Amino acid sequence: MKLNIIPARHGALWVKLGIRTFLRQPLALSGLFFIFMAVMSLLSMVPLIGNVLALALLPGATLGLMVATQETLKGQFPMPAVLLSGFRAGRTQLRAMLILGFLYALGFVGVLGISALMDGGKFAQLYLLGGTAGAEVLQDPKFEAATLVALALYMPLSLLFWHAPALVYWDGVPPVKSLFFSFVACTRNVGAFTVYSLAWILAFIVIGFTVVLLASLTGSEDAVVAVLFPSAMLMAAMFFTSIYFTYAESFSTPTVHLA
In a domain, 162, yes or no: yes
- Pseudo-torsion of CA 43, 44, 49, 51, nearest 10°? 120
Total domain count for the chain? 1
Q: How high is the pLDDT of residue 257? A: 56
pTM of the predicted model as reported, rounded to 2 decimal places? 0.88
| Cβ density class 96-115: b for 16+ within 10 Å, e for less | bbbbbbebbbebbbebbeeb
Q: What are 66-103's pLDDT values in tens digits?
A: 999 999 999 999 999 999 998 888 888 899 999 999 99
In a domain, 144, yes or no: yes
Q: What are 212-252's pLDDT values in tens digits?
A: 777 777 766 676 777 778 888 999 999 999 999 999 999 97
Please provide the average confidence, as pLDDT, over all residues in the chain. 88
Q: How high is the pLDDT of residue 259? A: 56
In a domain, 259, yes or no: no
Q: How high is the pLDDT of residue 229? A: 81
Q: What are 108-133's pLDDT values in tens digits?
A: 999 999 999 888 888 888 777 766 66
Q: What are 145-179's pLDDT values in tens digits?
A: 988 999 999 999 999 999 999 999 999 999 999 99
Asked whether 14 and 245 are in contact (CB, 8 A), the reply is yes
In a domain, 136, yes or no: yes
Q: What does residue 3 show for φ and ψ, rounded to 5 degrees? A: -80, 130
What range does the domain containing 242 cover?
A: 2-252
In a domain, 257, yes or no: no
DSSP 164-205: HHHHHHHH---HHHHHHHHHHHHHHTHHHHHHHHHHHHHHHH
